[in-house]
Amino acid sequence: KPRILLMGLRRSGKSSIQKVVFHKMSPNETLFLESTNKICREDVSNSSFVNFQIWDFPGQIDFFDPTFDYEMIFRGTGALIFVIDSQDDYMEALARLHLTVTRAYKVNPDINFEIFIHKVDGLSDDHKIETQRDIHQRANDDLADAGLEKIHLSFYLTSIYDHSIFEAFSKVVQKLIPQLPTLENLLNIFISNSGIEKAFLFDVVSKIYIATDSTPVDMQTYELCCDMIDVVIDISCIYGLKDDGTGTPYDKESMAIIKLNNTTVLYLKEVTKFLALVCFVREESFERKGLIDYNFHCFRKAIQEVFEVRMKVVRSRKHQSHLQKNKRPTPNGTPR
């Protein structure tokens, strides 16, 4: 599984991010989280696409400590998220960022380096832009001074009190999905043939969107989609379960239509037990719902085929790994 590392100074908000995105914790509850004092690992296996490990590192970790095997950790890493507290003096954080990135890059040049400029909910819009510009400039200047201009850093303004943290995590996870171009192409074909304005393929549990079509993402549109998923799941949990409490709040029958007051329709359909397609459609286009549903049926079938190919590849790799393990000689030199 690809590994995502959450790093940064103490109290920068790493554990809060993980709890809000992957455990549905209320942002206000994170105020009572204790500081992380050891590396916390968690498997995120919601679907065949969203399938990775998150390692939450304590802020005081020392790369020069001989007990810290940074080579082993960085070697299996797909993305390194470094969290910087935008409301604090970030000079120490930038120094730690530079040390972390240079160490990680030497071990694994393929790591995606993602910088979350966090807690921006307490800043004005002008201050946000100025802070991002300053951190971007200083971080890249430090790399240039070390002769490492080829390292690419991606920057995001984030807060757990709005949807910015979910969108930033979506962008990070998408880089770890090799099937992303295929998914985007399928969405482009689907919306162009159905008269749809915008479509997202969501992981229902985390509200991370693993793919969208090639039109630009509008933050307000994304927030409406997230809110729709919350409404559907909450109502299903209350009214969709059986009398004895069994069943699942999200299944192949899950579907929702919400008509907004600006002649736009929000349309949600279940793709797999982990994924939902959420679309923005004009009212006049939604009158051809039969065409949209037919095209959705074709889209869902194509997604299932992509899943099957991925599962075959995974099974093949496991089989190869098993064969190689059995070929290794035993301690006395004879084959297993």
For residue 118, with 0-12 CB atoms within 10 Å meaning exposed, 13-18 middle and 19 or more buried, which class applies?
Answer: buried
Own/partner pairs for 125-128, CB < 8 Å, 24+ apart?
A: 128/86, 128/157
What pLDDT does 33 receive?
Answer: 80
Class level of CATH domain 178-311: alpha beta
What pLDDT does 327 receive?
Answer: 66
Query: Tokens 């400029």 — which residue?
Result: 117
- Tell me phi and psi for residue 273, to 5 degrees: -70, -10
Tell me the chain's radius of gyration from C-alpha atoms: 22
What pLDDT does 186 receive?
Answer: 95
Three-state secondary-structure class, residue 196: strand
Query: Tokens 């730690």 — which residue?
Result: 96
Domain with CATH 3.40.50.300 in the chain: 1-174
Tell me the pLDDT tens digit for each residue of 137-148.
Answer: 999 999 999 999
Domain with CATH 3.30.450.190 in the chain: 178-311
Own/partner pairs for 106-109, CB < 8 Å, 24+ apart?
A: 107/70, 107/71, 107/74, 107/75, 108/74, 108/75, 108/77
**Measured distance CA(206)–CA(50) in Å, rounded:** 10
Alpha-carbon 184 to chain mean position: 16
Q: Which H or E run includes 166?
A: helix 164-174
DSSP string, 79-139: EEEEEEETTS--HHHHHHHHHHHHHHHHH-TTPEEEEEEE-GGGS-HHHHHHHHHHHHHHH
**Measured distance CA(110)–CA(300) in Å, rounded:** 32
263: left (phi over 0), alpha (psi -120 to 50) or beta: left
**Measured distance CA(157)–CA(164) in Å, rounded:** 7
pTM of the predicted protein model: 0.85
Q: How many CB atoms lie within 10 A of CB 74?
A: 19
Q: Are strands 208-212 and 255-259 parallel, antiparallel or unpaired?
A: unpaired
Structure tokens at 87: 């409301």
Q: Are strands 40-45 and 275-282 parallel, antiparallel or unpaired?
A: unpaired
Q: How many CB atoms lie within 10 A of CB 112?
A: 18
Structure tokens at 290: 């039969």
Class level of CATH domain 1-174: alpha beta
Q: Which residues of the chain have pLDDT under 50?
A: none
